[in-house]
Amino acid sequence: MTTSFTLYHNPNCSKSRAVLALLNDRNVTLTVINYLNNPPDAAMLNQLLTLLTRTPRELMRTTEATYRQANIDHADVSHDELVAAMVEYPILIERPIVVKHCTKAGSKAIIGRPPENIEVLFT
């Protein structure tokens, strides 16, 4: 069984850095994506939403000024519009996101807030 991990990482975020350290301590095969410089596209965001079992708004940092500036802070904004906003403004994506890829069991994902949340990926 082959297992690897992907971390959607913001190096300026203390929680993201803590999750990176936890993953490095476990010596896992890890791909680190600085999502601010290399944002996921809509298809990848939808895949992450499925793995996380969250809605787009549940994956958004609604306290960011960009959230209000993007004019998406009202209830009638569609799923696709919210995903498009995260593609355009990746700062809106909650962080860090860890995806565990396992050839036998499939993929799982979790948001590392708090960083200890990722421990469920190892049980």
- Which CA distances in Å does 26 have to 23, 53, 96, 108? 5, 26, 17, 17
Q: Range of 108's domain?
A: 1-35+95-123
pLDDT of amino acid 105: 79
- Identify the CA nearest to 94 among candidates 58, 53, 52, 43: 58
| Catalytic residue, candidates 4, 13, 101, 102 | 13
Establish whether 102 is a catalytic residue: no
Q: How confident is the model at residue 2 (pLDDT cuts 50, 70, 90)?
A: confident
pLDDT of amino acid 1: 65
The overall pTM is greater than 0.85:
yes
d(CA 101, CA 89): 26
Q: What count of residues does the chain have?
A: 123
86 and 105 fall within a common domain: no
45 and 88 fall within a common domain: yes
User: In the predicted model, what is the mean pLDDT of the chain?
Assistant: 96
Contact by Cβ (8 Å): 26, 121: no
83 and 113 fall within a common domain: no
Q: Take residue 44 and report the two structure tokens written for it.
A: 């990848």
d(CA 4, CA 113): 20
Instruction: State how many domains the chain has.
Output: 2
* pLDDT 10s digits, 40-88: 999 999 999 999 999 999 999 999 999 999 999 999 999 999 999 999 9
Q: How confident is the model at residue 98 (pLDDT cuts 50, 70, 90)?
A: very high
